[in-house]
Amino acid sequence: MDHPDLTEDERELAATVREFAEEVVAPRAYEADRTHTLPLDVVAQMGELGLFGLPFPEEYGGQGGDSFALCLAIEALGRVDQSIAITLEAGVSLGAMPVFRFGTEAQKRELLPDLLAGRALAGFGLTEPEAGSDAGATRTTARLDDDASEWVINGAKQFITNSGTDITRFVTVTAVTGERDGRKEISTIVVPNGTPGFTVEPAYDKVGWHASDTHPLSFVNARVPAANLLGERGRGFANFLHILDEGRIAIAALSTGAAEGCLEASIDYAKKRTVFGEALSTRQNVQFTIARMHLRVHNARLAWHHAARLRDAGKPFKTAAAVAKLTASDAAMDNARDATQIFGGNGFMNEYPVARHYRDSKILEIGEGTTEVQLLVISRALGLQ
């Protein structure tokens, strides 16, 4: 699909990543999904292309781009393989971005270069068994020991992306570090993989995103240096909400790519598939279904482009991000359903990308803020309290 509002550099980036997605990612997608394996060699190639460093300054090893550039890459990958796309999205938005936004200069210099080069991944531990959309219900605790030299962490996290790969370097976790004015003081702390007392539990058996790495985590008296505090003490939850707003734009871009992948596959299949002696594409109900699929892709792309441009211009974007995330995740799920119907029995076979999109797309309505949370954000912006 064309992007009429892109600059020449943005157009070249989109074309480059689309070519990489078709030539490198797509041929590996079925086997990676079938074996529930994240192909780290593909991740390394993404690093070599500079994709993990797109929105970061060159001084830390980044490409000097912006969030719009990152989202272009995520959309192109999401079109053929959502697992690879979410690996990039989470690696940047949830792994590197908190360090860049809130870390000390020493933390940035130490942690960012390998993350931005794709040599390492990191996760963000927010969600818990009793704290999802209500992340303020965090139960994981971190207390300073008697000489205030180490944090002692106890608790559990769940659904943490990029937390258990062979190249995962650390996870940043939210934890209750005290109380302020009778309310929980929530801070964020960097916990390196391999820290005694920190356990990456066995991977989940998920409905979709099979090649994406996702684990529950547990902490039993896990000790890290006091200097591993990321950002100001007590600002952990507030800081993460800002990160989440940015991430919603990226999820919208991923969703748009998935919706487009379903659209393109449906057009191709409808033209080639013969039913009662005629191409399936001659049936008006199929034509209309595909036309609506195109409409969803168009609207989803406009929504995330708008939100990303606002964010990169330094303008308020929280509501636009919610609109984009809601519009695009709906588009991905609806297009996956319609594509599966057009493919008929073949749409139920995992070797066809539309079947994987059908399984993968449901989480897009849940992750980084559910549909209901997006509706809440939008309604509050309209003054509905």
Measured CA to CA, the distance from residue 90 to residue 171 in angstroms comes to: 12
Q: Is the pLDDT of residue 3 over 70?
A: no
Angle at 173 between CA 328 and CA 308, to 5 degrees: 30
**What stretch(es) of the chain map to CATH 1.10.540.10?**
8-120
pLDDT digits (tens, 9 = 90+) for 189-204: 999 999 999 999 999 9
pLDDT digits (tens, 9 = 90+) for 171-185: 999 999 998 887 889
The pLDDT value recorded for residue 219 is 98
The CATH number given to 122-233 is 2.40.110.10
Band of residue 334 on the pLDDT scale cut at 50, 70, 90: very high
Catalytic (active site) residue 368: yes
- Rama region for 125: left / alpha / beta (φ>0; ψ in -120 to 50; rest): beta
pLDDT digits (tens, 9 = 90+) for 240-285: 888 888 999 999 999 999 999 999 999 999 999 998 999 999 999 9
Q: Is the pLDDT of residue 291 over 70?
A: yes
The pLDDT value recorded for residue 48 is 97
pLDDT digits (tens, 9 = 90+) for 146-160: 898 999 999 999 999
Measured CA to CA, the distance from residue 67 to residue 57 in angstroms comes to: 12
- pTM (two decimals): 0.95
**Where are any strands of DSSP class E within 238-379?**
274-275, 278-279
238-381 maps to CATH 2.40.30.330? no
Residue 346's closest CA among 283, 246, 275? Answer: 275
Please name every residue paired with 174 in a beta bridge, in sequence order, or none if there are none: 188
Rounded mean pLDDT, 65-77:
97
Catalytic residue among 75, 128, 264, 368: 368
- Average pLDDT along the chain: 95
Q: Is the pLDDT of residue 135 over 70?
A: no
Rounded mean pLDDT, 89-116:
97
Band of residue 2 on the pLDDT scale cut at 50, 70, 90: low
Q: Is the pLDDT of residue 134 over 80?
A: no
The CATH number given to 8-120 is 1.10.540.10
Rounded mean pLDDT, 97-104:
96
The pLDDT value recorded for residue 131 is 76
The pLDDT value recorded for residue 245 is 86
Q: Indicate the length of the chain as a whole number.
A: 385
Q: Tell me, what DSSP letter sits at residue 363?
A: G
pLDDT digits (tens, 9 = 90+) for 16-44: 999 999 999 999 999 999 999 999 999 99
**What stretch(es) of the chain map to CATH 1.20.140.10?**
238-381
Rounded mean pLDDT, 297-317:
97
**What stretch(es) of the chain map to CATH 2.40.110.10?**
122-233
